Amino acid sequence: MSQSRVFIVGAGTGRVENLTVKAKRLIETADIIFYDRLINQNILMLAQSTCKKVYVGKEPAGHFTPQDQIIQYLKEASQEYQTIVRLKSGDPYVFGRGGEEAMALAQEGISFEVVPGVTSSIGGLSYAGIPMTYREVALDFHVFTARSKEGDAEHDWGAISRLKGTLVFLMGVKNLPKITQALIDNGKNPATPVAVVEWASRSQQKLVVGTLETIYQKSLAATIKPPSLIVVGDVVKFNESLNYFMNKPLFGRHFAIPQSQAQLLLPLLEDLGAEVILFSSPTKVKAELSLPLSDEEMDVCLLDGSALTAFINWMNKHQTDWRHLKLKKLTVVGEHTQSALESIGIHPDQYYKNFDVLSHQSMNPDQIYIGSQESFKQLIRMNQVFEKAEFYSSSSEVFEKLENESSLEALDGIIYSNTKAVRSIEQYFKDEKLKRQLQQTTAYCLGEQAYRELNRLGFHSIIQTQEPHYQSLQALLIQIFNK
């Protein structure tokens, strides 16, 4: 086994797409991840299914996992796992005790690496339309923490108040009146623009703009909470022209999509400003076929691609090949399965485009049906006669539990690209409350089949895109949500 490594990784401001290429690669290959409170669940969804995820942020009672404990966890993990990721928000070395963790690892002689991330103290501002520097307005910028180990941070307020550039305070919500008062008392103009940005870059982002004199009252009125950035300086006023993010058509909206669709659908929705919640897709577990070996001629129907793979595996296992098979009739369902067969030079006797067509045929009692459990169930739903069919399972689907089911509540919509996507949400129907909630959430779907499946599952409001592709979905969402 090669040497185990600890990576202290910056997760950026919270949006998945703000991860660095290296951070993404490490999360995708990690064996264990220790993560903080501000980490977006979708970032954790990038991890492989075998990866262990350990929360080391604020505990319910409000206490942080002690630093010694985290170091102990990392030490133990380095004995057991190969790739260990310590995932921290923003940049690991900007507050949040990243330096201390690295130092402790160095002292313990544990091999580690630090992967920089987009810090909220700089990157977060752009989501509020505030440039950190601007020629002739801010030639420098300064980042402060409002908290220290002992409590409130003690700063040289006289020196800070003389600075002309942009001032950014982290962890400052509780101390906002103290910060503004200290700046005014030390000579800063009370009319200096100030912005408070809560949950920068996330769909729940809030922006409050005022001056040193007014910002506290305004923040109270807007019930600003941590995590927030406090930005002091003339650059704040540019937000009126530069706030592209909060003006996006789907800003503030939440959509859930199956993880299997994330590659294309996640960037599309994020670009429109939405926050996306990924729910896990089922993983396929292959089954080995044990078909009756007989001298009689067989009628075989392959219901899907997994059936073809399993059938070929079965032939290999029994050292037989197509030429010697006593196949009376070979039937296949689905375009992909048919073309896969034809690519190896075999032309089925009968072909059905989908289960719809097949289900309208009479069930052949002498035929064996091979396919995934899910395909067979679907066929039976369409025509109960098939319950009597001689069926051999080539695969089944296993669902993984969603880490944070509450994120499926209060959604603006769930998007189903196909019937498989519908099936992956069905797993949450075991919980009656969640089931009712999901049924009441607007379902957006591509294609007729997904529509019918959603109907069957009792979704109250189902909207089908005009065309079964993502461009059509994009146009539809913009039309509905762009106020």
Point out which residues bind ligand SAH (CB under 6 A): 13-14, 38, 88-91, 94-96, 119-121, 124, 170-171, 197, 199-201, 226-229
Rounded to whole angstroms, the Cα distance separating 71 from 101 reads: 7
Rounded to whole angstroms, the Cα distance separating 24 from 16 reads: 9
The H or E element containing residue 317 is: helix 305-317
Q: Which residues pair with 230 in a beta bridge?
A: 169, 196
Comparing CB distances to ligand SAH, the nearer of 171 and 289 is 171
Comparing CB distances to ligand SAH, the nearer of 124 and 129 is 124
Count Cβ neighbours within 10 Å for each residue of 406-432 and write b for 16 or more, e otherwise.
Answer: ebbeebbbbbbbbbbbbbbbbbbeeee
In the numeric block, the tokens 């089911």 are attached to 405
| Active-site residue, 304 included | no
CB of 168 to ligand SAH, least distance (A): 9
Active-site residue identified among 36, 91, 299, 304: 36
Tell me if residue 87 falls in helix, strand or coil: strand
Rounded to whole angstroms, the Cα distance separating 170 from 147 reads: 8
Comparing CB distances to ligand SAH, the nearer of 46 and 229 is 229
Q: Rg of the Cα trace of the chain? A: 29
CA 19 to each of CA 24, 90, 94, 436: distance values in angstroms, whole numbers, following the listed order: 6, 9, 16, 35
Comparing CB distances to ligand SAH, the nearer of 96 and 348 is 96
CB of 413 to ligand SAH, least distance (A): 24
C-beta atoms surrounding 231 within 10 Å: 27
Comparing CB distances to ligand SAH, the nearer of 183 and 230 is 230
Q: Among the residues of 40-97, which ranges form H helices?
A: 41-44, 67-80
In the numeric block, the tokens 């910028």 are attached to 141
| Active-site residue, 431 included | no
Q: What's CA 150's distance to the chain center, in Å?
A: 36
Rounded to whole angstroms, the Cα distance separating 257 from 108 reads: 43
| Active-site residue, 36 included | yes
Comparing CB distances to ligand SAH, the nearer of 123 and 334 is 123
CB of 205 to ligand SAH, least distance (A): 7
Rounded to whole angstroms, the Cα distance separating 357 from 332 reads: 12
Comparing CB distances to ligand SAH, the nearer of 77 and 94 is 94
Q: How many residues does the chain have?
A: 483
Comparing CB distances to ligand SAH, the nearer of 88 and 188 is 88
Active-site residue identified among 171, 206, 248, 363: 171
Comparing CB distances to ligand SAH, the nearer of 56 and 415 is 56
- What is the helix, strand, coil percentage profile of the chain, to 5? 40, 25, 40
Q: Would you state the structure tokens that stand for residue 347, as one six-digit string?
A: 């032309």
CB of 210 to ligand SAH, least distance (A): 17
By beta-carbon distance, which residue lies closest to ligand SAH?
Answer: 90
Residue 367, phi then psi, degrees to nearest 5: -100, 145
Selection from 42, 478, 109, 467 nearest residue 279 by Cα: 42
Active-site residue identified among 58, 164, 174, 388: 58
Selection from 355, 374, 372, 393 nearest residue 305 by Cα: 372
Sign of the torsion formed by the C-alpha atoms of 124, 129, 130 and 132? positive
HSE, side-chain direction, 13 A CA sphere, residue 424: 24
Positions marked active-site: 36, 58, 171
